[in-house]
Amino acid sequence: MKKMKSQLRQDLVSGDWVVIAPGRAKRPHQLVQKNPKRKVSPIASCPFENPAKGGKPILSYGDGEWELQMIENKYPAFVHKKTCSTIVKDGPYSVTDTGGHHELLITRDHRKNFSELSKAQAQQVLEAFRDRYLMLENDACLHYVSLFQNWGVSAGASVYHPHYQFIAMPIVPPDVMHSLHGSLRYYRDHKTCVHCVMIEWERKYQKRIIYENDGAVVFAPFVSKAAFEMRVFPKTHLPYFENTLDAAMDFVADALQHALKKLKKNVSDPDYNFFIHTAPIKDKAQYHMYHWHIEIIPKISKTAGFELGTGIDIDSVDPDVAAKILRT
């Protein structure tokens, strides 16, 4: 088998460089056979079997018994305040309070992660995120909402029971701002959405497509930061997650479920993080060129000195090969 050469690839949105170095790893199929079988924690000691025990849930869904609840995080990084956080100077440094909201979205079944939920339950997770987002979008103190899941200990999950996090904050995070600026730069130069261009190319090229339905598509990015990274996009150009209608959201939920099923089946069930990148709450008119999406980052490789010292990630699995493995 011919050894594939390493390449430096530049991300079309951020401008960041990534090293695709398939020669550094064993054969990709060998790389994904290392994960031990996932251990399910005891239900009896699970704090999420009765999440509203400490108080009334923020949101609750289900006829009769609850199926999905949103509660305040017991150990929040951001806390709601009566006044808006103000950026002040501490010597040469800028600081502000962590005013906002930090909440958990918890599904009922202790064993069923997102990929194992029913179609309706998976749709409900994204729709609950949207419902809560819309409840807070007029809050003058908030600038961005981060929506994500940590699955597995190495991905930062301290509780086994499947759950998702909702963090509303008084700033726009730097990685999101990076993506916004790159999207705006491309729009100014080419008068079109950079993400739409990528979607069109990947659908034409086909080799990195993992799954698609009528309204959403999953592919391995040409400039993947991590082995078996995936992106999930609504096919329709939509800047704002919270303004996505049910039909489009349901297509995305289906695509996300399929992507995570492929990851579990074909990549030995790794821990992962998935997160939503969407345009900010404020100044909506200026972000019409953005295209919200979901990024899935499996925890397969570890960040080391080169990555930390340069900001350049190394992916040891060619995205074309990753997509082929994930599709099977």
In degrees and rounded to multiples of 5, residue 88 shows phi and psi of -125, 170
Secondary structure (DSSP) of 139-178: -TT--EEEEEEEESGGGT-SS-S-EEEEEEESS--HHHHH
For β-strands 272-277 and 293-298, DSSP reports them as antiparallel
Give the up-direction half-sphere exposure of residue 25: CA atoms within 13 A in the CB hemisphere.
24
* pTM of this structure: 0.95
Q: In this structure, which amino acid lies at residue 56? A: K
Secondary structure of residue 269 in the 3-state scheme: coil
- Report which of 257, 294, 249 is spatially closest to residue 107, judged by C-alpha positions: 257
Where along the chain do its domains lie? 7-34+44-81+97-327
Give the count of beta carbons closer than 10 Å to the beta carbon of residue 79: 13
Could you tell me the two tokens for 137? Answer: 């979008």
For β-strands 101-107 and 209-212, DSSP reports them as unpaired
The pLDDT, as a whole number, for residue 116 is: 97
Question: 76 exposed, middle or buried (CB, 10 Å; 0-12, 13-18, 19+)?
Answer: middle
The pLDDT, as a whole number, for residue 3 is: 58
Task: Tell me the C-alpha distance between 39 and 297, whole Å.
Answer: 21
The pLDDT, as a whole number, for residue 63 is: 84
Give the up-direction half-sphere exposure of residue 213: CA atoms within 13 A in the CB hemisphere.
17
Digit-by-digit pLDDT tens for the chain (328 residues) are 455 789 999 999 999 999 999 876 555 555 665 667 888 999 999 999 988 777 789 999 988 889 999 999 999 999 999 899 999 999 999 999 999 999 999 999 999 999 999 999 999 999 999 999 999 999 999 999 999 999 999 999 999 999 999 999 999 999 999 999 999 999 999 999 999 999 999 999 999 999 999 999 999 999 999 999 999 999 999 999 999 999 999 999 999 999 999 999 999 999 999 999 999 998 888 999 999 999 999 999 888 999 999 999 999 999 999 999 999 8
The pLDDT, as a whole number, for residue 99 is: 96
The pLDDT, as a whole number, for residue 28 is: 57
Could you tell me the two tokens for 24? Answer: 């550094």
Contact of 277 with 176, CB cutoff 8 Å: yes
Q: Which fold has domain 7-34+44-81+97-327?
A: HIT family, subunit A (3.30.428)
Task: Tell me the C-alpha distance between 32 and 65, whole Å.
Answer: 39
The pLDDT, as a whole number, for residue 284 is: 85
Contact of 225 with 315, CB cutoff 8 Å: yes
Task: Tell me the C-alpha distance between 237 and 195, whole Å.
Answer: 9
Beta bridge partners of 273: 150, 297
